[in-house]
Amino acid sequence: MSADTCCCIYFPCYNAERFLARTVARIPWTQLPAGIEYSLLFVDNASSDGTWAEIEKLRRVHPARSIRHAVNRGYGGSVKTALDHCAREGVAILAVLHADGQYAPEELPRLLAELLARPESALHFGSRLKGAPLEGGMPMYKFLANHALSAFQNIVLGTSLSEFHSGYRLYRVVLLERVPWREASDGFVFDNEIIFLLRQAGLGITETPIPTFYGEEKSHVPRLATPAAIMANAVRYALARKGWRQDPLYSR
């Protein structure tokens, strides 16, 4: 699994019936880097609408696997399901594309080529804050919160990442197996915990600008609970690293 020979394009799906098919249709297959085997993975997180029916339709025309959670396991739980699938099937790269189309599938060939050129990178993500997020419709409160939270996390980690909260991510699975991601949160803070774990392990994290688009999709991110969890995660990491607190995730 050391060679980057296969890539799984993963869609975390929750009540995405209206958006999923048109988001998948935007993937520029002919522009993706050659020499790699591509497949789709849909993880339906106990949707209450017709998402699963849409997934079944898409599987008739695309090389795809699908997994349906009987109960909602949270965003982090969905990512864990996808990573477990990759580890089990020997998939080298997991590319995360949200079903609502907020992260442009058209950018995937560039992001993947950049990851392939950085063999040391365990995570390569698209940064909205390196682009023009306000012009893309990012609400001002999210713009300010992203900047403030990312600044705080950079201080704790000693990094200079432009943001920590983008969901447009490409993981090199074999490197990710060096950190205990299965013990991370099942919630949205999973994405932040992974960055902290990779940093703690000395693994590469790289970023690239992406365009921002906010359309008619509905965010399922808790507006207050998620920022609180992000700050709490940074604090627990700092306490564990200083040896002031034993932490099941960071005291290693």
**CATH number for position 145:** 3.90.550.10
Is the CB of residue 24 less than 8 Å from the CB of residue 110? Answer: no
Does some domain include residue 250? no
Is 198's pLDDT higher than 90? yes
pLDDT for 2 equals 45
pLDDT band at residue 217 using 50, 70 and 90 as cut-offs: low
For residue 222, tell me if it sits in a domain. yes
Percent of the chain with pLDDT over 90: 86
Domain contains 223: yes
| pLDDT tens sequence across 109-157 | 999 999 999 999 999 999 999 888 888 888 898 899 999 999 999 999 9
Nearest CA to 211 among 55, 120, 101?
101
Q: Does residue 136 lie in a domain region?
A: yes
How many domains are contained in the chain?
Answer: 1
pLDDT tens figures, 166-188? 999 999 999 999 999 999 999 99
- 246 occurs within a structural domain: no
Average pLDDT, the chain: 94
- 7 forms beta bridges with 38, 93
pLDDT tens digits along 43-90: 999 999 999 999 999 999 998 999 999 999 999 999 999 999 999 999
Tell me the residue range of the domain where 140 lies. 6-241
Q: What is the dihedral of CA 73, 76, 77, 80, to 10 degrees?
A: 170
Provide the pLDDT confidence category of residue 1 given band limits of 50, 70 and 90.
very low
Q: List the helix and strand counts (H, then E) for the chain.
A: 8, 7
Would 248 be classed as within a structural domain?
no
Q: Is residue 53 part of a domain?
A: yes
pLDDT at 107: 98
The predicted-structure confidence for 90-103, as pLDDT tens digits, reads as follows: 999 999 999 999 89
Q: Please report whether residue 59 resides in a domain.
A: yes
